[in-house]
Structure 1
Amino acid sequence: MKKTWLLGFGFFSISITWALYNAFVPFFLDDFLKSTLLIGFMMTIDNYFALFLQPWIGSRSDRTNSRFGKRMPYLLIGMPLAALFGALIPWHTGLLTLILFMVLMNLSMSLYRSPTVALMPDITPDNKRTQANGVINFMGGIGSIIAFGGGAFLYEMHSSLPFLSASILTLICLAILLYTIKEKRDAVAYAPADHKPTISFKGEWNRPTLFLLGAIFFWFLSYQGVEAFFTLYGKNHLQLTEGQSSFSLAFFSLAFVLAAIPSGLLGNRFGKKPVIAIGVVGLILIFAAISFVDSLLPLRIMLIVGGIFWAMININSYPFIIALGKEQTIGTRTGIYYLVSSLAAITSPPLMGGLIDLFGYSVLFYFASGGMVIALLFLAGVRDKGLTKTISAQNGSTNI
């Protein structure tokens, strides 16, 4: 568990960077683009890279074998580049340079996101992965809290300070990971895969996994729409300041952090699917209720409760996907997990932006609640009975 906590610094750097990106980049785009649909489209750039690169990078990392290990080479390349281009974003001189820095930062982050995530199951026994996912997401949540809380304060001092701070923290986190995580020493079973880096469902993906991926798509469709437009929702619909809007998201992240480890323990004790189902039902109700909130205090209370339910979903879904396949293809399945979530993230902001252009910002949380309903229907189709024996025969043992 010590190594898991240290690995959490990788998630810390990813979370703080994405939180600041999603909170403040829409304000930069709003200076040049008056269509919410176009702003939503521009906020999906990272997911186009994730769609094509992350599954391939994840699969390739399965068969990489260097003196640094399978995953670490990708962190050594991607994290410094992401830090550089992220720091340059607020120094754009126009729409063209803004988009250029956004593209370069997102490309850099796509190089190391899947390998960073795949490190967790690499160094964690399968019966501890749900708890470990809670730990690393706890660290990621701390990053989001710092981003939304401290970032709002720094942004009001100067728009470049949140991004510069995130870049410095990213480099510090890379140094910690490089010094403390030695893959060949710490991996449960270090063995690069001998297959070529191809992306295929054949022989690896069963029907319960496909239903689970459908559920993942729709709950990320809801979540990504809220994340991309919440600060603009607060500013334009609730008449909050930009700082109040971004700081309000810290309440969601704080609740997520506090619930991350307990959610992992609950998933391990009662099963991942039941805990995820409770979280989905809870967010259906919370998102629907926020649609009727018009003041700051009840909004933040709702976000706290919503963060708890999101932890129940998010902490248990990735280990659930990992549990349904072979140990030798963890990187590949990590990439596929992000492929599906990225498809949702590509679809959601433009779709939501178009609906906002037509109906106003009030439609945001109705849309989010509806997406969660569809996710619940897909989750109901996940039948994992009988899979334990099958997967155990493939892997030796698996806790589903």
Structure 2
Amino acid sequence: MFASLREIWNDNDKSALRLFLAILAWFVGYNAIEAFFTLYSVHHLGLSAGDGAGILGHLSLFFVLFALVSGFIGGKIGRRVTISLGLVILIALLAVMFFLAPEVLANPVAEVPVLGTVRVISLLMMGAGVAWSLINVNSLPMVVDLVEDARVGTYTGLYYLFSTLAAIAGPNVNGGIIQLMGNNYNSIMLVGPIFMVVALALMWGVRRG
């Protein structure tokens, strides 16, 4: 694995390096939001912890529902384009959540079987689930396409290395920022898009996969 990391670093093309750094960035952004969303719901939106978990579940549900479609889109228009599209959508939705007043976000829209109370933020999170599926479903196949079959296992391991590092770093980074912002949990909706923008910029330089 260390030899592969050295090879990625020394590669003149830098596509693999950019892709792995993009994976790190978007997972840091996503994991930061996921880890603190219940607290965000309680302290910023004025909802219960159960309501926050339910809203986060709306994202997860639409991620699963759209997963097959995301793979199909990636096969049709290319994985780099599909991932970039997902990043743009996710950045926009998170920015809307950051700027909209908590009263607007928490406003109930409808009662739907299975989903329960659907709020304005629920609709935005459903869209975020679709966007996240465009990114996440196509990321590992893009990594696999970087190399020949004999090295697929190594690059799959690198994918999980970078995503796991992000899962560790994301909550810690965002927790520190929340404290610096005076326990303002709305900051997760600002930090997330910043990391997604970094990931999008890195993806523009990816030419393989």
Conservation of the 8 A alpha-carbon contact between 1:260 and 1:315: yes
Tell me how far 1:254 sits from its aligned partner. Answer: 1.4
Alignment correspondent of 1:219: 26
Give yes or no for the alignment of 1:200 onto 2:24: no
Alignment correspondent of 1:394: none
Alignment correspondent of 1:79: none
Alignment correspondent of 1:57: none
Tell me how far 1:345 sits from its aligned partner. Answer: 2.0
| 1:315-342 per-position Cα deviation (integer Å, ceiling 9, x unaligned) | 1110000010121232221111011112
Compared CA separation, residues 367 and 202, structure 1 to 2 (3 A): closer
Compared CA separation, residues 203 and 260, structure 1 to 2 (3 A): same
Q: What is the rounded CA distance, in whole Å, between the counterparts of 1:266 and 1:203 in structure 2?
A: 33
Compared CA separation, residues 341 and 202, structure 1 to 2 (3 A): closer
Q: Among 49, 52, 61, which residue is 1:245 paired with? A: 52
Q: Among 89, 92, 95, which residue is 1:285 paired with? A: 92
Q: What is the rounded CA distance, in whole Å, between the counterparts of 1:253 and 1:362 in structure 2?
A: 20
Tell me how far 1:203 sits from its aligned partner. Answer: 8.0
Conservation of the 8 A alpha-carbon contact between 1:211 and 1:381: yes
Give yes or no for the alignment of 1:371 onto 2:178: no
Tell me how far 1:271 sits from its aligned partner. Answer: 0.7
| 1:100-140 per-position Cα deviation (integer Å, ceiling 9, x unaligned) | xxxxxxxxxxxxxxxxxxxxxxxxxxxxxxxxxxxxxxxxx
SS of match in other structure, 1:269:
helix
Tell me how far 1:290 sits from its aligned partner. Answer: 0.8
SS of match in other structure, 1:244:
helix
Give yes or no for the alignment of 1:333 onto 2:155: yes
Q: Kindly, what percent of the aligned residue pairs are identical? A: 37
SS of match in other structure, 2:3:
coil
Give yes or no for the alignment of 1:264 onto 2:71: yes
Alignment correspondent of 1:158: none
Conservation of the 8 A alpha-carbon contact between 1:263 and 1:316: yes
Tell me how far 1:204 sits from its aligned partner. Answer: 5.9
Q: What is the rounded CA distance, in whole Å, between the counterparts of 2:26 and 2:75 in structure 1?
A: 21
Conservation of the 8 A alpha-carbon contact between 1:293 and 1:299: no
Compared CA separation, residues 371 and 216, structure 1 to 2 (3 A): same
Q: Residue 307 of structure 1 aligns to which amino acid in structure 2?
A: G
Alignment correspondent of 2:132: 310
How do residues 1-400 of structure 1 correspond to structure 2 at under 5 angstroms?
Answer: 198-201=1-4, 205=8, 206=11, 207-291=14-98, 292-294=100-102, 295-296=105-106, 297-359=119-181, 360-384=184-208, 400=209
SS of match in other structure, 1:201:
helix
SS of match in other structure, 1:325:
coil
Structure 2, gaps ≥5 residues long: 107-118
SS of match in other structure, 1:381:
coil
Q: What is the rounded CA distance, in whole Å, between the counterparts of 1:302 and 1:293 in structure 2?
A: 14
| 1:127-173 per-position Cα deviation (integer Å, ceiling 9, x unaligned) | xxxxxxxxxxxxxxxxxxxxxxxxxxxxxxxxxxxxxxxxxxxxxxx
Q: What is the rounded CA distance, in whole Å, between the counterparts of 1:293 and 1:253 in structure 2?
A: 24
Q: Residue 365 of structure 1 aligns to which amino acid in structure 2?
A: M
Segment of structure 1 superposing worse, 296-305 or 203-212: 203-212
Compared CA separation, residues 203 and 214, structure 1 to 2 (3 A): closer
Q: RCO greater where, 1 or 2, for CA within 8 Å and sep 6 or more?
A: 2
SS of match in other structure, 2:133:
helix
Q: What is the rounded CA distance, in whole Å, between the counterparts of 2:5 and 2:139 in structure 1?
A: 21
Conservation of the 8 A alpha-carbon contact between 1:199 and 1:332: no
SS of match in other structure, 1:200:
helix
Tell me how far 1:202 sits from its aligned partner. Answer: 6.0
Q: Residue 272 of structure 1 aligns to which amino acid in structure 2?
A: R
Q: What is the rounded CA distance, in whole Å, between the counterparts of 2:139 and 2:67 in structure 1?
A: 12
CA RMSD of superposed structures (Å): 1.6
SS of match in other structure, 1:383:
coil
Conservation of the 8 A alpha-carbon contact between 1:204 and 1:326: no
Q: Which protein has the bigger strand share?
A: 2
SS of match in other structure, 1:377:
helix
Q: Residue 125 of structure 2 aligns to which amino acid in structure 1?
A: L
Conservation of the 8 A alpha-carbon contact between 1:218 and 1:375: yes
SS of match in other structure, 1:281:
helix
